[in-house]
Amino acid sequence: MASHAPTPGMGASPPQSVEKITRIAQDYEYNPLIPLRNWLRTASTLLREARIYEREGHDEQTYLLLFRHAQLVLVNLAKHPDAKDEKYRKALMEAEKEVRINLGKLEALKPRINKRYERYAQLMRERQARTSHQETTSSKQVQPYDPALAGVVEPLEAGKNRDLAVQLARTEISRRATVRKALRQAGVSPEEEQSRRTAGVWNNWEDAMDKNGRGMDNDLSRRIQDVRLNIDQQTHANTRPQQMKLAQPSTSTYKYPSVPRTKPLEPLPSASTNVSRDGKSLRSEAPLPPPKERFESDQSIFTDGASPPPLPEKVLSTPAPAVPEKGQPMADGGSSRPDLNPSSFTFKPSAYLENGTPLRTLWLPPDLRTHFLVVAAPNTRRNLETCGILCGTLISNALFVSRLLIPEQTATSDTCETVNESAIFDYCDSEDLMVLGWIHTHPTQTCFMSSRDLHTHCGYQVMLPESIAIVCAPSKSPDWGVFRLTDPPGLKTVLNCTQSGLFHPHAEANIYTDALRPGHVYEAKGLEFETVDLRPKESRV
């Protein structure tokens, strides 16, 4: 399992050297008992987050995530017990190809990061030389006008900036949707878009959008078509050997993981996923889980035993599913401010794991759970559980739930099991969404996390430490809750659990906890979301 390290250079944090960032990036816990398909999605999430941080100008966090991705793919996944399985060979090769390309990015980021760190270190030496100890202590307080000390962005406290969070989400999600639409109009497939982004050949083409009117779809489409034409011409004249050549490690106290040079198979597109940050300690215990009523079926939800839920690799033999009708369309833009730039802000960590690791704020639309209960009502009346997937994105170092995905599923009174899980991830990849957690009902039970729920959620939290599980118990009070596993002891306890029964006890009492305030989850009125139902129409009633 990948653990999480400090977020260097974010907000008021002092700059850090490349050498220190590299040490942080390698400081994570890897568990080979977790299926390789889950790790491949984790690696893909790391890249997705790195791209967002890069676009927002956070060099240090971009470097950390890219280096961690390289370490995970080349050092850990290459030796995973499942790596010898033929069905993973192509996906592993694609991941290694991404590492080769990203090594060039790492080399480009390194001098910028070190220059900023050296400037900061020199400034601190000069201040210490000319001031008394008391003045030095005072001068170490971050000054907002000093980028070397305060960083280049404005740090925000989530609780005091709900309205700004809503505006940022509305503006940035709309901008990204416009970009995706323009790409499709330009004839760029999702697969080609991912390939171009990974190769870095589009650079900052998104900045070509009109700052005063970011919805210039046709103009952007023409720009992208021009870029494609230029790229195609360059490809015939030059195969860009400098991109495929491995960057030479610098003469420092660390070196990049070595890339295997030969493989018998051709690469194929891989799936997408995460990690990150530093810390203090936390907090309250979760409600004690009451016993569920007698279970009449042996169906499980997502997974079994100590393994995380089976988040599958992409299905390559069939195209991604068409986007279904939206059950809840996004509200119109309203009074969103087009001048808001996510790179100008960063949300501070709002809570910490029990081991001291900071958690990024996760913003939740307050209407989402009530809408989910409407979707789930036909099953609830028949005493059947319903589950949904919480999807969203990363903006300004905070996570925003913007999509409620209802997967194809089978259910009993005590379980809900997804069907055709590859469709979930194909859809998320096509929409550039991150999986941020899940939501499910307890039609007649109280609001708690069963042992089966804990094993299910373990797979989500391995991929993303901020992942949440929402439980809706409409017939009880309290009728809902937002939970996460404690870490420690909860996450390791569930990962190492070998029991397979639906309702089995765990030795630890505080295995999960409330994620709402004072946790890392905030509700913000005005946050917009869509509902997408992947179930066959006949199973929705």
For residue 426, what is the enclosing H or E element? helix 421-430
Q: What CATH number does the domain containing 529 carry? A: 3.40.140.10
φ, ψ (nearest 5 deg) of residue 379: -70, -40
- 502 and 434 in a common domain: yes
- 220 and 76 in a common domain: no
- 475 and 400 in a common domain: yes
For residue 426, being part of any structural domain is answered with yes
pLDDT at position 20: 92
Please tell me whether residue 2 adopts helix, strand or coil conformation: coil
Distance, CA of 457 to CA of 387 (rounded, Å): 12
Q: Are 87 and 75 in contact (CB under 8 A)?
A: no
For residue 95, being part of any structural domain is answered with yes
Q: Which residues sit opposite 485 in a β-bridge?
A: 512
Distance, CA of 142 to CA of 148 (rounded, Å): 9
Q: Are 476 and 446 in contact (CB under 8 A)?
A: yes
For residue 315, being part of any structural domain is answered with no
Q: Angle between the 86-130 and 190-199 helix axes, to the nearest 10 degrees?
A: 40
- 362 and 228 in a common domain: no
For residue 312, being part of any structural domain is answered with no
First-to-last C-alpha distance (Å) of the chain: 39
Per the document, the length of the chain is: 541
For residue 337, being part of any structural domain is answered with no
For residue 290, being part of any structural domain is answered with no
Distance, CA of 138 to CA of 321 (rounded, Å): 58
- 160 and 44 in a common domain: no
- 487 and 459 in a common domain: yes
For residue 22, being part of any structural domain is answered with yes
Distance, CA of 472 to CA of 441 (rounded, Å): 5
For residue 230, being part of any structural domain is answered with yes
Which residues in the chain land under pLDDT 50?
A: 1-6, 8-9, 11, 136-150, 197-228, 230-232, 234-254, 258-338
pLDDT at position 368: 98
- 43 and 15 in a common domain: yes
- 166 and 75 in a common domain: no
State pLDDT tens for residues 10-42.
Answer: 545 789 999 999 999 998 888 898 889 889 989
- 163 and 116 in a common domain: no
- 472 and 410 in a common domain: yes
For residue 167, what is the enclosing H or E element? helix 162-185
Q: Angle between the 18-25 and 86-130 helix axes, to the nearest 10 degrees?
A: 140
- 386 and 508 in a common domain: yes
State pLDDT tens for residues 466-521.
Answer: 999 999 999 999 999 999 999 999 999 998 898 877 788 888 889 999 999 889 99
pLDDT at position 214: 42
Boundaries of domain holding 426: 349-539
Distance, CA of 207 to CA of 49 (rounded, Å): 19
- 515 and 414 in a common domain: yes
By CB atoms closer than 10 A (0-12, 13-18, 19+), residue 498 is exposed
Residue with tokens 């195209």: 319
393-415: burial string, b at 16+ Cβ within 10 Å, e else: bbbbbbbbbbbbbbbebebbbbb
Residue with tokens 């330009």: 186
What is the domain count for the chain? 3
Q: What CATH number does the domain containing 43 carry? A: 1.20.58.80
